[in-house]
Structures are given as structure tokens and as C-alpha cells.
Amino acid sequence: MSGHSKWATTKRKKARIDGARAKVFNRIIREVTVAARMGGSDISANARLKTAVLKAKSANMPAKNIETAIAKGANELEGVTYFEPTYEGYGPGGISIMVDCMTDNKTRTVANIRNLFSKNGGNMAEPGSVAWMFDTKGVITLSKEAIDEEMLLDLIIEAGAEDLDSSGEEYRITMEQDNFSKVMEALTKKELETTSAEISRIPQNTIKVESNIAKKALNFLNLLDEEDDVQNVFVNAEFDDKDLEDLD
């Protein structure tokens, strides 16, 4: 399992424990709203909206919240206009970072992100400088108690998944972005509850980061993740479990 995945998994666990679910919900609501605005409110005809709704359901978001977000995006209710800039850069230890944002004020957002980079041992890079190091994939996780590994493998391969990683505490399924909905539907038909479901940027290679550099890098990633306009943070760093355990 990649370093990014370990960090992302740790963040998800914290969200379940420390009340960060509200921030997770806000991010998903923004994604649902934008998807509906760009492609309409018909889920069957809007692949991006379908993915966002599946993610919302996997996070146990109330149906009313999802319906309201779709209505706002489809201009059936008053809402705001969001932009979706992605920023690239480097952090402590030379790690590569991609920051997906969703904002109603790009000037404010880029200033905040640039400030975080400059104050935490990093620097922003030109578009494309980092993006080529990551592949866009669908990533789904679920509890190992939900289903036998062999049965799960048969199910997801038939639905178009690429890989099943069972080395961690949860099953981690990866697939091409276009097959994300198919795999989710296959799991749903079997009434298998996911712990996360998202379109992610997977690093092609990782950099091992340890000791004080790891602490600086993790602190920086946390600060980025906590920024209001940030939707997702992706990194090619690989961290030791002992450093992740110290995550505040």
C-alpha cells in the first residue's frame, strides 16, 4: 500500500473519531453541487454526479442533504458558483503534492495555498510539473469483515476492477476511473457497505520520508487538508507507521 494511501486512511479514521465528518460532508456537498451544475440533475445521464452521489452515500450522508445539493447545482435552489483549481508543488523532503480545490474565490484560495507552501518548507510549481507523476484511479475501501477475500475478488474483477489490496486493515480496491460506477454498483447489489469511495490521484512512485522531515511533511499535509477550500490532497510520500501514529 502506498504512502499516500496510508496517510489518506489515517485521515479517514480520524474523521470517524474526532468529529471531522462535518468537513467531509461539506466537501462532498460541494462536489455534488458542481457536478449537477455542469451536467444536470439526472444521475443516470451525469457520470460525475453519479460518482459524487455514490461517494456521499458511502459517507452515510443523509438523502435530504444530497437532494438539496443537487437542486442547488441544477439552479432549482439558490446557490453559489464554484471554481475547481488544482495546485501543484513540492513539500519537505522534495515530496510532490497535488491540491484539488473548490472555491467561490480563486484569488483568496491561491493566496492561502501559496502561503501554506511558503511557510512550511515547500514551494508551488507550474501546472503539469507534478501532475504527470500521478495516475487518476477510482479507489474504494471496505471492511474485511464484510466479505471473504476470494468472493470479493471475483465480484470486483468481473465489474472491471484492476486490483484488490488486502495488506492493510481494510480491503482497498482500485480501478480505472471509467469503471468506478460499475464496481460500486456491483458492491451495492451485494449490499456491501464501503468505508470510502472516491476518484483519487495515485503516485506512480513514492519517496520515503522519515524522522523530522516526516513530521514536517505530515504537519504540512494536515494544514493543507484543513484549509476550507481544499477538496483533496495527494502526495507521493511514503511514511512509517510510527510517524503516522503521531498524527494530531
Sorting pLDDT into bands at 50, 70 and 90, what band is 124? Answer: very high
Kindly report which listed range (3-12, 104-113, 130-139, 219-228) carries the lowest average pLDDT score: 3-12
pLDDT tens-place string over residues 35-76: 888 888 888 888 788 888 888 887 788 888 899 888 888 877
Is 1.10.10.200 the CATH classification of the domain at 3-73? Answer: yes
**pLDDT value at residue 15:** 54
In three-state form (DSSP H/G/I as H, E/B as E, the rest C), the secondary structure along the chain is CCHHHHHHHHHHHHHHHCCCHHHHHHHHHHHHHHHHHHHCCCHHHCHHHHHHHHHHHHCCCCHHHHHHHHHHHCCCCCCCCCECCEEEEECHHHCEEEEEECECCHHHHHHHHHHHHHHCCCEEECCCCCHHHEEEEEEEEEECCCCCHHHHHHHHHHHCEEEEECCCCEEEEEEEHHHHHHHHHHHHHCCCCEEEEEEEEEECCCEEECHHHHHHHHHHHHHHHHCCCEEEEEECEEECHHHHHCCC
Mean of pLDDT values over 214-232: 90
Per-domain residue ranges for the chain? 3-73
User: Mean pLDDT, the chain, as a whole number?
Assistant: 86
